[in-house]
């Protein structure tokens, strides 16, 4: 999407020198826009591990490009396969719980294996890395093309008055290679001249909304307003929200959604006020093996320092400040479960369906279990 | 309540020199505990206006003490009444929307008017100031004595396992002269050896929970954990909350509650998980003239800088940092309405009642309208 008027993805091969991977260093957003050169597997591993790049789709793409660099590095060693496997292990260990990371690395391994010689292996790795990134963008774009119809309909009903969309966390292009999941219908709408306005939940404790989603929308020119996470209920009570779209970290076979902590509260408020609540996901987010979100999805607990300290900018310096009494403990649950009964529908790359097993299988019949 | 092992109120006359009012300067909490001497009406007005003191009960008490200083100052002028009225106007203008402020000033005016001479007027003003502060503490204490029964019952049912209570914002002793409203049953329970643990919503954007409620509980020794406002739903889904108690800024005749933004979202989650949700209020918070909270209570909008910037401490210096893109707008609605249907009960100084007109009139029959 657009940054300072120019189109960017989150990660790409450097123009004119395809031995260098370039990526936006997201740690510094929204305060500084820095493009980082990643010249080695070590640098890719560090970028993933230290969250210069984050978000399921982007981590997968970064791993894909990392494997391309791994193949190039292995070409300069005596034992290509052994060196490649060392890189595989380092890459997989960079963020061990990221499903897309392992998936992308394995896909590359298989693809590279089919090359007849080192030159061919490198060419295949480069092509596969690009394909992984393109596919991610393609899925997100499809989500946008289906989701925009929801916005269009509301816009017609409101006779062109702004369609107010509330979103939580960052399910934007910064979490993928382009377009995003929850944001993709919004960008589609905006680019086609539909009058939209986005309420951006700041999304404590890590503030991905206020830092990343707001920055994305600002740079692409989409009208938006940052709000404290407490605010959505009031906005819905008073008719200021037409539609909620969030992303998800994991969706069960029956449509329960694990997403950033606080999503459940917004879904309750949407239900209480008859406001449509949609979750936008590429199908890679669906875990076909589990059904009950509350019982089967473990909720990550992170460090208390993310609640007690916050990072911002003062005097042009990125600074972390303590918000609470130093001795008070804090808890930091990263996700919550939104039960499918609260979800109006799921927006996927194959279309929109009900948040039910039947709904999902209608779009993904290949997941029908054998009897 | 206790601060560093010693009992404090939020405001009092200085021990050994009753010409000086002393108050905790709450702007610096939780990072610094500073007691401020207020020696003149001008200093009291500044303390109220710049929020060294805040919270309905405390503002009323501060105004009461301010009028005592006003009477003393007027005694040194040629025209006592004229000078007193000047002070009244300055005091009332210090925070024009604070109902308790005007109420306390008027009460003092009437009381002082009954003095036969200047010496007597000053004595009455001092006595009335003390009475206003004592009454505030007394109402809060009564709330605690009624509310503690709810906690006791749960504690018995849980066979002494910790009773987990979630609260939002600061309806603690810092907002009154002592005990608080929502916190009063908690302090009662703790002081009587009941095993309690408090989930403290940080309460963005002004973080009264993380700054003030956590500090209160820490100093009094009550086990507590700070959480992002997004977290309550997850905790309730997973059985980690037994009871919710909040305060209120205004309660309608039929039991709708206006309280700090985000209260409504927690009430929805409590309802969805069958968790009792109580609102603790002194009866001065009830607006007997209105019925429908959503239609009749205007919601204050505050400056966007409270959302975009946050204050914390770094290198022992209280510092404000920018959290979001500087050009992104933010909205800052201060309150939301929790409809009475989501409220299990109201805890008042006269007992606990249903959040309905009948419930409230049962405790406050003097508010029955003439036919």
Q: Is B136 a catalytic residue?
A: no
Provide the chain B residues 196-215 that lie in CB contact (below 8 A) with chain A. Answer: 199-200, 202-205, 207, 210-211, 214-215
Q: Which two tokens stand for residue B31?
A: 């990072």
pLDDT in tens, B49-72: 999 999 989 999 999 999 999 999
Closest CA to B204 of A164, A262, A215, A245: A262
- Minimum Cα–Cα distance from A203: chain B residue: B230
pLDDT in tens, A107-164: 999 999 999 999 999 999 999 999 999 999 999 999 999 999 999 999 999 998 999 9
Q: Contacts of residue B230 in chain A, CB cutoff 8 Å?
A: 203-204, 229, 260-262, 265, 336
Q: Contacts of residue B228 in chain A, CB cutoff 8 Å?
A: 204-205, 229, 261-262, 307, 332
Of A225, A229, A233, the CB nearest to B329: A225
Tell me if A321 and B321 make a contact (CB, 8 A cut-off): yes
Decide if B341 contacts A272 (C-beta within 8 A): no
Q: Contacts of residue B315 in chain A, CB cutoff 8 Å?
A: none
Q: Contacts of residue A297 in chain B, CB cutoff 8 Å?
A: none
Of A262, A309, A331, the CB nearest to B225: A331
Confidence at residue A98, expressed as pLDDT on a 0 to 100 scale: 75
State the smallest CA–CA distance between residue B257 and chain A in angstroms.
13
Confidence at residue B21, expressed as pLDDT on a 0 to 100 scale: 98
Distance CA A8, CA A220 (A): 11
For residue A278, the surrounding DSSP H or E stretch is: strand A277-280
- Torsional class of A31: left (φ above 0), alpha (ψ -120 to 50), beta (otherwise): alpha
Tell me what the pLDDT averaged over chain A comes to: 96
CB atoms under 10 Å from CB of A120, counted, come to 12
Q: Contacts of residue B31 in chain A, CB cutoff 8 Å?
A: 322
pLDDT in tens, A285-318: 999 999 999 999 988 899 999 999 999 999 999 9
Distance of CA B329 to the CA centre of its chain: 30
For residue B237, the surrounding DSSP H or E stretch is: helix B232-237
Burial of residue B90 (number of CB atoms within 10 Å: 0-12, 13-18, 19+): middle
Decide if A48 contacts A95 (C-beta within 8 A): yes
Residue carrying the six token digits 């002004």: B206
Q: Among residues B136, B229, B242, B249, which one is catalytic?
A: B249
Backbone angles phi, psi at B58, to 5 degrees: -70, -40
What's the pLDDT band for A370 if we cut at 50, 70, 90?
low
| pLDDT at A365 exceeding the cut of 50 | yes
Q: ipTM of the assembly?
A: 0.95
Backbone angles phi, psi at B11, to 5 degrees: -155, 145
Cβ-based contacts under 8 A for chains A and B:
227
Mutation choice for B interface testing from A3, A206, A325, A326 by most B CBs within 10 A: A325
State the smallest CA–CA distance between residue B227 and chain A in angstroms.
6
Decide if B168 contacts B260 (C-beta within 8 A): yes
Three-state SS string across B164-192, please? Answer: EEEECCCCCHHHCCCCCCCCHHHHHHHHC
Distance CA A131, CA A134 (A): 5
Q: Contacts of residue A200 in chain B, CB cutoff 8 Å?
A: 328
Mean pLDDT per 10-residue interval, chain B, length 371 residues: 95 97 96 97 96 94 98 96 97 85 96 97 98 98 98 97 98 98 98 98 97 98 98 98 96 96 98 98 94 91 96 95 98 97 98 98 90 42
State the smallest CA–CA distance between residue B283 and chain A in angstroms.
25
Tell me if B324 and A210 make a contact (CB, 8 A cut-off): yes
Alpha helices by DSSP H, B34-117: 41-49, 56-75, 80-94, 99-113
Of A224, A230, A237, the CB nearest to B229: A230
Of B224, B234, B265, the CB nearest to A269: B265
Residues 6+ apart with CB under 8 A from B126: B13, B18, B68
Decide: helix, strand or coil at residue A62. Answer: helix
Confidence at residue B369, expressed as pLDDT on a 0 to 100 scale: 75
Decide: helix, strand or coil at residue A337. Answer: strand
Decide if B60 contacts B104 (C-beta within 8 A): yes
pLDDT in tens, A252-290: 999 999 999 999 999 999 999 999 999 999 999 999 999
Indicate the pTM of the whole model.
0.95
Closest CA to A332 of B230, B4, B279: B230
| pLDDT at A92 exceeding the cut of 80 | yes
Confidence at residue A371, expressed as pLDDT on a 0 to 100 scale: 42
Please list the residues that pair with B260 across neighbouring strands.
B335
Provide the chain B residues 52-81 that lie in CB contact (below 8 A) with chain A. Answer: none
């Amino acid at each position: 999407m657009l940054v300072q008027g120019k189109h960017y993805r989150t990660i790409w091969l450097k123009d004119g020198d395809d031995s260098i991977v370039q990526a936006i260093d997201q740690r510094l957003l929204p305060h500084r826009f820095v493009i980082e050169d990643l010249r080695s597997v070590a640098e890719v591993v560090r970028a993933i591990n230290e969250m210069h790049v984050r978000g399921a789709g982007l981590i997968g793409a970064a791993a894909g490009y990392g494997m391309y660099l791994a193949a190039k590095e292995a070409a300069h060693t005596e034992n290509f396969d052994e060196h490649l496997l060392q890189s595989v292990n380092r890459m997989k260990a960079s963020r061990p719980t990221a499903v897309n990371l392992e998936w992308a690395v394995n896909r590359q391994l298989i693809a590279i294996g089919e090359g007849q010689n080192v030159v061919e292996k490198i060419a295949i790795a480069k092509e596969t890395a690009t394909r992984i990134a393109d596919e991610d963008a393609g899925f997100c774009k499809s989500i946008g093309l289906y989701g925009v119809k929801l916005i269009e309909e509301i816009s017609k009903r409101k006779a062109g008055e702004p369609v107010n969309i509330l979103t939580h966390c960052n399910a934007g292009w910064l979490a993928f290679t382009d377009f995003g999941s929850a944001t993709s219908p919004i960008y589609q709408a905006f680019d086609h001249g539909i009058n939209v306005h986005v309420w951006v939940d700041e999304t404590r404790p890590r503030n991905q909304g206020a830092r990343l989603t707001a920055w994305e929308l600002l740079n692409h020119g989409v009208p938006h307003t940052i709000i404290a996470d407490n605010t959505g209920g009031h906005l819905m009570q008073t008719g200021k929200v037409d539609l909620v779209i969030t992303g998800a970290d994991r969706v069960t076979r029956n449509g329960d959604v694990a997403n950033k902590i606080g999503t459940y509260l917004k879904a309750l408020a949407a239900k209480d006020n008859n406001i449509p609540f949609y979750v936008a996901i590429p199908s890679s987010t669906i875990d076909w093996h589990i059904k009950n979100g509350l019982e089967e999805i473990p909720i990550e607990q992170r460090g208390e320092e993310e609640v007690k300290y916050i990072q911002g900018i003062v005097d042009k310096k990125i600074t972390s400040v303590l918000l609470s009494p130093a001795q008070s403990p804090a808890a930091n649950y990263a996700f919550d479960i939104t039960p499918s009964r609260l979800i109006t529908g799921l927006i996927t790359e194959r279309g929109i369906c009900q948040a039910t097993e039947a709904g999902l299988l209608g779009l993904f019949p290949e997941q029908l279990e054998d009897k």
